[in-house]
A = this chain, B = another copy of it.
Amino acid sequence: MSVTYPLGFTAAGVAAGLKASGGLDLALVVNDGASIAAAATFTTNRFAAAPVSWSRDVMTAAKASGRAPRAVVLNSGGANACTGERGAADAAQTAAAAAGALDGVAPDEVLVCSTGLIGVPLPPPLLLAGVATAQKALSSAGGLDAARAIMTTDTHPKTARADVGGYRLGGMAKGAGMLAPGLATMLVVVTTDATLTSEAAQAALEEACAVTFNRIDSDGCMSTNDTVILLASGASGVVPDTCGFTAALTAVCQDLALQLIRDAEGASHDIAIRVTGATTEEAGLAVARAVSRSNLVKAAVFGRDPNWGRVLAAAGTVPAEVAPFDPAMVDVSINGVMVARDGGAHEDRRLVDLSARGVEIVLGLHAGEAEVTLYTNDLTYDYVKENAEYSS
């Protein structure tokens, strides 16, 4: 399961005391393979957390040295973001502690991820003791505990896997809010026992993220801590076909991405926004994003109101130079009913059934051939409640 499904990996999830609840809050994932490669993508938020800065430096160093990182420490219970020099030192210490506990691993071969409240320093003694405990608990069955240890407001651990012609992929993710375009309070680790170079791993990861994690947008907010990591152990001995591997990785990422959006804070509907007939994928994405960020559209879906007017109003905020289309030619279908056509009312909106959790809004732009789908949620009382009452 999870990150220990592929051969060559051990993992653990332990309770380090970072979460007031006493639940699992520290995860360790170790690549024991003989042919190690790694890739990562990070938040573009300018207030990137200390662990993001640390891990970025690790990836840069790895590129120069050719020695890919072998382990990842992840904690919930604190984001270690906006914590200044102390935060940077804490992230470095965490990596050093993991390196010290693992055979033949240097501190700069350890990636670090954190999630939780911004601005509160982590307690180093608990963190370092937790790393030691996690190292002792490492096992090839530890993937699920690791997935549990990174949960914050998630209602359940998220894992995925794939078997592809002799090699495997496994993954875990956390994130239940602040899911946004450039990734967002989302930590993801995907492992594989395929034999890859780090360059191939990076290329595949970027391709996969572009059409999965970057196409879920729960509330338009982008976190300081988002990280997606891919580790390859080579333990299967299989050197995969590039396209085949990218497709398998994309499938695992999409599985995790959809689990994230389905568990978004307080949501009662999952909304797929499909834009067809765009001049380019970018143009379609701009329209889809404008709709996905409209609180009015999202509140209407919560209220089971097939409000195509709000959908068009949101689409109409995208400048013509970004997404060329003729407003008088646009149609909108909601759950299969074409409620608007040629920019005006068409089929009876009362025919639209919004009682089920899944909602599909299709905007036909009739301007080109490109098509794109973005996933978001509705705006509910519970979203407001969770984000008003839970400090994150």
Q: Which residues of A contact B (CB under 8 A)?
A: 44-48, 79, 81-84, 87, 117-120, 177-178, 182, 219-224, 293-296, 299-300, 302-303, 305, 307-310, 312-318, 320, 327-328, 340, 342-345, 379-381, 383-385, 387-389, 391-392
Contact = CB atoms under 8 A, between A and B. Distances in A.
10 contacts: A45-B316, A46-B316, A47-B327, A119-B309, A221-B294, A222-B316, A300-B388, A300-B391, A310-B392, A380-B384
Contact of A312 (B47, B117, B384, B389): B47
A224 B381 contact: no
Contacts of A389: 303
A313 B45 CA distance: 7
A152 to B, nearest CB: 13
A contact face: mostly helix, strand, loop, or mixed: loop
A309 B220 contact: no
A357 to B, nearest CB: 16
A358 to B, nearest CB: 18
B388 A178 contact: no
A302 B118 contact: no
B384 A313 contact: no
Given A343-B47, A381-B385, A391-B300, A295 B221 contact: yes
Given A120-B345, A327-B46, A344-B82, A316 B388 contact: no
A122 B118 CA distance: 51
A299 B388 contact: yes
A48 B300 CA distance: 21
Nearest to A293: B220
A84 B331 CA distance: 13
A290 to B, nearest CB: 10
Contacts of A392: 296, 307, 309-310
Nearest to A121: B345
A300 B84 CA distance: 23
Nearest to A387: B299
Given A224-B313, A294-B221, A316-B224, A302 B384 contact: yes
Nearest to A345: B119
B119 A300 contact: no
A373 B312 CA distance: 30
